A and B are shown apart, each in its own frame.
Chain A
């Protein structure tokens, strides 16, 4: 253990400055995030919070990020800031850069990042502040920001901006704005979101300038070094509490057009060296990129691997360039989950295959020992989180295009807790808000008939996964085009350490006559007619540990609350629940003993 006692004497770490300035950096990032949340126009920003705000040093190292999706922010800001500096060696105050290129450090084309170099009063570039927001539309060839079937970036169709100057002297470069207005659907909504993102970056810039003037740039530079050392020490501490070992796990994404018929299987090899306090994640041995939109960008591949690690250590270790020193992520060139080569499409990089990589990493960790790793989370993204578009009959046929977040995948069982219900994807880790029914119905010509938990759909375990939900909605007085790329209908979430798999995702269309018709689960893009609806069974999360080791009182609670049926409690969990909803102790003991008998014979 590296406690205070072992702290190198006289190395001048200042625990007080660390606390005070840490709080101030946090304050800057949260001020930026607040601006984006409150002023964003599209649902993906103001409800789903699909954005990130962070601060990197002039050396492009991540210092601090606001509460946001890990897949968005763990890695990528560093790469994007580097690209900005490479393409624009002379940076001036008043500059801002639009960056959405997955070939230069961004996540995917639908995430528009605004980078503002923070230049001090002497003209020195000190930090870069970055605000990145998922767009409701990014000018793809179809009205969706997730083009699962795109052969390449050309078929995606989005405009790609590799750190392109969008403001000079605090004024828009109108050429760029005009290009976007000509290519992006519902341009007013895009421009509103652009303003919100830019506003967030400018507010961050202003706040950093104030802080630097207040405490001095040298002090801030010292602080960031200390913060990195501090975070590294906490990471060392966390890894030393883990068992050493090696785990290899695979995870398979359901097939979509462009993938092999059996889908894409990714493999992660994880090594924990407790003594050296290092973790390595190797995903080099993976198939070459596919002619579809599932491939990961470099930023998402790095982040997806790290999410799997941080899900075990993260709540005690701040994610920044300091704690990252202890994690080695090895990526291949041109693979499905490595560094993509232009024009490989990475349209869906932030969700689907990235989640599979995360799940492989955390199940590989679970192999190494008890108490670490997690099961699979419910896969991304069912029709409950589709991009919907059409013409709104209530407003003279005004076009609309937006992503609804009625629900998504449920969370995986973990070593100490059940799955988080509104996890949505592993990459966004439950951070988004979930749409209000009434807000969605006022914003779009739709009616949401149902959003209800489906009993017995969880991956059973000592700590069970979250159950799936059934969500049904359809258009009102118009047609509605919907698009989604759902994984997890062929390959449901797996359990870890004896935990069981969850129920898969499923989709149906209810016709006007009430009949249920099968519709595609993955790579779906179709039109619902007036009076029809889509039914989306969202995928549950896998369980952690054997279900028969689950605390009987927890099982009885699940039965009373309608999460698990009496029958499943008996058959899967080995718990007898009486008519009052209480545990029948004797019968439970008998069931569990019989169960272990079977297990021994088996």
Chain B
């Protein structure tokens, strides 16, 4: 048996995977002060449901996958350790300036953001390496010792150290020496060296990831060892794996040594699960994976079976927060979820989000003091949600209050009926979501019409058909386990490790020797990983790629390598052709006369963990036929009598033509008129959004 626990902002999800591949899903409120308590709460829930003791449950568990928002929250709320930043002399303001840029040219009410590490804790070292790796000025050891001694002085309160020197990625000699001095002079204080953690070009990103990583070390190593001990004390004897931002898992002990992997790790699992559902249920290798929560709508992508990554993940608002600078699954988030507030502005325009009613007070219909209408309230007004069966009946919704709020705040100023206003909220929210999806697809040359839309999270089903139609996607997949997409994704993920090295070369003066040496070194690192942590894996593999570009461009694109070494000029020609093709696919143009530049070489070692194939949810039995009728509105005008089916009661292969609603204990799926929903053998819902209409 395997377990996957995902500690989210509101709920802690647990998925139990039995030996025969059946999945069970449990949810319990997150306990922010001590997240482990929430994990044990949900474990006890699972044990109780299975009629076994906690010890028995844990004792039978071979692999325990764990994802937590702890690291992300710590950075966002300033709860991470007090870190000192050591940098090259002359460049103390790397973290302050970031990479410039501003979101709104006319908003002069927003102050310039604070640096990740205060200037008062930033120290310059006398040293300089040049772009070609030669030493311009040798490291001044005496001065460096003095700086380090100062960090250790009483009152400095430094809990960790981040070291990022210019061009350490080309010649790490100075960073390595600073590391040795830190070991010797500040024993026990964790530190991170930039070239080891994130050997990539661009000092701000490298420095930021280095300092984020260092600042998380005290916290995350304590957290991970504590939860490991508590699990073991409760009978767990298996392997504890932590979910990473690269959509894979790693041993908890390794994560404690590089905790930046944990940032945004939960959301990175959604496309892992999405890829599987898109393939198995949609027959597609390209998928848009949308995870709808209470406050945000997270969109990620599967492109030809691969999950795209980015270094431009921001913690906090774009350009004003801090960029992690660390490769992670590309997940875009917009402030559009069930709790997003709808309002009409002074000019008469309807807005939905980004402001959210959050968990407290929550939507008006929760009856916890919320007064402003939200997306959930609109869905309730339209009859999409059942006031008596929301989250399986765990929360009772106040339909009258929701209606009153929609009427007063939206219908009146818009000059519409209440249903019309509620439908408008869904329409605008859907458009915001479409915008987020276009941002990640069309902007990268992916045609959404060729993709399957996979909807996860409790609220995904409300408007997924609408969104799919707007994007031109033919098919929507709503996994039965979609409400815990991330936790399920962890069970489907691989153990992996990424390695990269910078070795600049160009296609017309290709440095075969240097490139092959770099690839050989990367391969050796991969092999070490595979023969260590990867022992016992079902399958192992190495994928090579390079971040390349046209001359004078500064943004690279990742091109997979077809061979592990460059032996003949034809190998280089192949790479050049691949970059042209990819550039054209992504940006609609290619400069085929141009040579190309290669910057950073990457290798990913993947070890497939033993796992089951089914991904099928164990369902609670439903009494009766599981079929009811309810008034719902699909045209924003009137409400009409509509079929409502319980997912658990639908037969394998059973089809349901819209207008209709499918409900389960975790989610609601609105089948718009003209769409045809079908329950599959694996207990998922697949919707053909175009049947009946829109064939034109």
Contact = CB atoms under 8 A, between A and B. Distances in A.
B431 A234 contact: no
Given A414-B108, A414-B109, A416-B108, A421 B130 contact: no
Interface in A150-176: none
Contacts of B504: 442
A13 B589 CA distance: 40
B100 A429 contact: no
B400 interface: no
Central interface residue in A188, A405, A428, by most chain B CB within 10 Å: A188
Given A233-B348, A422-B100, A20 B431 contact: yes
A441 B88 CA distance: 15
Contacts of A436: 99, 201-204
A237 interface: yes
Given A421-B97, A431-B101, A15 B109 contact: no
A195 B591 contact: yes
A19 B109 contact: no
A480 B98 CA distance: 27
Nearest to B557: A38
A553 B20 CA distance: 63
A562 interface: yes
Contact of B350 (A15, A415, A421): A15
Contacts of B90: 448-452, 472
A43 interface: yes
A433 B504 CA distance: 23
B435 interface: yes
A15 B105 contact: no
A177 interface: no
B19 interface: no
B538 interface: no
A250 B280 CA distance: 70
A315 interface: yes
A417 B98 CA distance: 19
B588 interface: yes
Interface in B321-377: 344-352
Contacts of A40: 553
B428 A19 contact: yes
Interface string B596-609: 00000000000000
B103 A67 contact: yes
A433 B431 contact: no
A18 B434 CA distance: 16
B439 A30 contact: yes
A interface bracket (residues with beta carbon within 8 Å of B)? 35 or more
A513 B385 CA distance: 78
Contacts of B105: 67-70, 310, 314, 428-431
A24 interface: yes
Contacts of B104: 67, 314-315
B593 to A, nearest CB: 8
B550 interface: yes
B101 A23 contact: no
A530 interface: no
A430 B91 contact: no
B431 A23 contact: yes
B134 to A, nearest CB: 10
A30 B434 CA distance: 14
B130 A41 contact: no
B110 interface: yes
Interface stretch (A2-10, A86-94, A260-268, A489-497): A2-10
Given A422-B102, A432-B101, A452-B90, A192 B550 contact: yes
Given A18-B349, A46-B554, A70-B105, A192 B591 contact: yes
Interface stretch (A55-63, A196-204, A341-349): A196-204
B346 A233 contact: yes
A466 interface: yes
B96 interface: yes
Given A4-B346, A15-B350, A438 B91 contact: no
A18 B91 contact: no
B99 A433 contact: yes
B140 interface: no
Contacts of B434: 23
B349 A431 contact: no
Contact of A439 (B136, B202, B414, B550): B202
Central interface residue in A20, A24, A47, A472, by most chain B CB within 10 Å: A20
Interface stretch (B78-86, B112-120, B510-518): B112-120
B119 to A, nearest CB: 5
Nearest to B206: A438
A459 to B, nearest CB: 15
A417 B108 contact: yes
Nearest to B345: A234
Contact of A199 (B92, B112, B553, B587): B587
A530 to B, nearest CB: 14
A420 B591 contact: no
Nearest to A2: B346
Contacts of B349: 15, 18-19, 22, 230
B131 interface: yes
A180 to B, nearest CB: 16
Contact of B550 (A41, A414, A438, A449): A41
Nearest to B583: A39
A27 interface: yes
A443 interface: yes
Interface in B612-639: none
B59 interface: no
B351 A189 contact: no
Given A35-B587, A417-B109, A434-B99, A237 B550 contact: no
A46 B106 contact: no
Nearest to A70: B105
A311 interface: yes
A555 to B, nearest CB: 14
Nearest to B413: A4
Given A20-B428, A195-B589, A195-B591, A27 B438 contact: yes
A487 B106 CA distance: 23
B100 A430 contact: yes
Nearest to B595: A188
Contacts of A466: 112
B346 A429 contact: no
Interface string B199-236: 00111100000000000000000000000000000000
Nearest to B432: A23
A43 B554 contact: yes
Nearest to A198: B589
Contacts of A26: 435
A310 B106 contact: yes
A451 B99 CA distance: 13
A374 interface: yes
B594 interface: yes
A586 to B, nearest CB: 25
A231 interface: yes
22 contacts: A1-B346, A16-B416, A18-B349, A41-B551, A41-B553, A67-B103, A192-B550, A311-B106, A315-B108, A319-B106, A417-B111, A418-B112, A421-B112, A431-B101, A436-B99, A437-B166, A438-B167, A441-B131, A442-B504, A447-B128, A469-B93, A581-B120
Given A70-B105, A422-B112, A438-B131, 17 more contacts: A23-B432, A23-B434, A31-B442, A38-B587, A40-B553, A41-B552, A237-B347, A314-B105, A315-B104, A417-B109, A420-B112, A430-B100, A430-B105, A432-B100, A434-B98, A436-B203, A442-B504
Task: Please list the 10 inter-chain residue pairs (A to B) with the smallest Cβ-Cβ separation, ordered nearest first.
Answer: A314-B106, A434-B100, A429-B105, A315-B107, A450-B90, A430-B102, A414-B108, A41-B552, A441-B131, A16-B424
Interface of B: 90-94, 96-112, 118-120, 128, 130-132, 136, 166-167, 201-204, 344-352, 413-414, 416, 424, 427-428, 431-432, 434-435, 438-439, 442-443, 504, 550-555, 583, 586-589, 591, 594
